[in-house]
Structure 1
């Protein structure tokens, strides 16, 4: 006769020292700072570099970015990272505590939006690879807003960002942390003219099956 399996108890979590409480960041990073002896360096960084809003320099930086990396996770913590790009201003600063970026018709999977609908925590990473070789992290909570709804609040939103397409909806990120990503290992890149296939559903021409997954799937069926 099989014995019922004993319930799995969560691991004990050591208490944080008083000096590590009420700091930005996660409990896990604070515990590891204690374990690895980096508390003083971390506290200097929190004090000197971490804001709960965007300052004027950050707002200017966001406004000239042409790309961003977006990290999300679902309710179970399964992660997804995606890439968003557009002309300067596609990351639209609504105010010093809100950034909005557009969502267009895509492959229909809606991975990032699906995660946000379950778990609003989102991380943005913007990097200037060309001029200043510096990055900006923005962490916060996001919501999904229809284009018409956001445009009613902000009539000055651009009507289009690329090739006549207008956003179907927007992700509005409410800033909780904003801090620098240092330039030490950021490579310098040189912009070149882009030749892309627009207005086509041909997977090969637009790079949709670049890795040959469709062929692999067909071989296994």
Structure 2
């Protein structure tokens, strides 16, 4: 039986492939689909995406899944081995970025829900940079990376190790729709949406910003002098 190339996939993958008799099929997938850098088609696909799903884990292997969104191409393709995306102020938890400080491995999943119904996995090693630090290496990054012209307070810089397709079989079709305007009185505020609360407790203080996990303060980041 042909063994899959050991440069791709985990030891657990290969062990299960042997147990379940899928090693030859997996070897074909690794050979035909998995790339160590981004192809031109992958780069174009990322450049048109408005969302990405993130997978991180801390040093103990405890996992977190998150989500980022922005205008098309908000995840910037710097070259065929490098991506970068901005982080902005959010709820202050910093779950994804905190995991990257402990364990730099980052998984990204880009999905086209509206046209070709296909996905792209990109896995690699992440480093956190302050806005000024990363621009010293990549001056072509846009200055207005966020709505309202806000400057990013942190960037996630990914060195690509592998990229491969997520097939279309179970990707649903979604129709883009305008964001509702006005206040929905029946909708709980974000800070209370999953808590069962309707108003903050008196000692709770003001409601927190529960937008996407952000980069909050450049002071948390050591200055980087190498790529």
Verify same fold: TM over 0.5.
yes
Determine helix, strand or coil for the equivalent of 1:61. Answer: helix
Q: TM-score, normalised on structure 2? A: 0.80
**Bigger mean CA deviation after superposition, 63-72 or 151-160:** 151-160
Answering whether residue 60 of structure 2 is matched by residue 50 of structure 1, we say no
Pairs aligned (count): 197
CA distance in 2, matches of 1:150, 1:91: 14
Once the two structures are TM-superposed, the CA of residue 22 in structure 1 deviates from its matched residue by 2.4
C-alpha contact 1:73 1:116 (8 A) present in aligned 2: yes
Task: Select 1:105's aligned residue among 61, 83, 89.
Answer: 89
Task: Select 2:191's aligned residue among 198, 208, 217.
Answer: 208
Determine helix, strand or coil for the equivalent of 2:148. Answer: coil
Determine helix, strand or coil for the equivalent of 1:208. Answer: helix
CA distance in 1, matches of 2:199, 2:22: 47
Task: Select 1:138's aligned residue among 122, 125, 136.
Answer: 122
CA distance in 1, matches of 2:97, 2:180: 29
Answering whether residue 167 of structure 2 is matched by residue 182 of structure 1, we say yes
Once the two structures are TM-superposed, the CA of residue 152 in structure 1 deviates from its matched residue by 1.9
CA distance in 2, matches of 1:213, 1:42: 45
Q: TM-score, normalised on structure 1? A: 0.82
CA distance in 1, matches of 2:169, 2:88: 34
Task: Select 1:173's aligned residue among 138, 158, 166.
Answer: 158
Determine helix, strand or coil for the equivalent of 1:112. Answer: helix
CA distance in 1, matches of 2:63, 2:73: 27
CA RMSD for the aligned pairs?
2.3
CA distance in 2, matches of 1:176, 1:43: 18
Once the two structures are TM-superposed, the CA of residue 171 in structure 1 deviates from its matched residue by 0.4
Structure scoring higher RCO (CA < 8 A, sep ≥ 6) equals 2
Closer/same/farther in 2, CA of residues 146 and 131 from structure 1, 3 Å limit: same
1:4-50 deviation digits (Å, cap 9, x = unpaired): xxxxxxxxxxxxx9834624110000010000000111000000000
Q: Which residue of structure 2 lines up, in the alignment, with residue 126 of structure 1?
A: 110
Closer/same/farther in 2, CA of residues 18 and 133 from structure 1, 3 Å limit: closer
CA distance in 1, matches of 2:196, 2:99: 24
Once the two structures are TM-superposed, the CA of residue 211 in structure 1 deviates from its matched residue by 1.4
CA distance in 2, matches of 1:52, 1:132: 23
C-alpha contact 1:23 1:46 (8 A) present in aligned 2: no
Once the two structures are TM-superposed, the CA of residue 143 in structure 1 deviates from its matched residue by 0.4
Once the two structures are TM-superposed, the CA of residue 210 in structure 1 deviates from its matched residue by 1.4
Segments of 5+ residues of structure 1 without an aligned counterpart are 1-16, 198-202
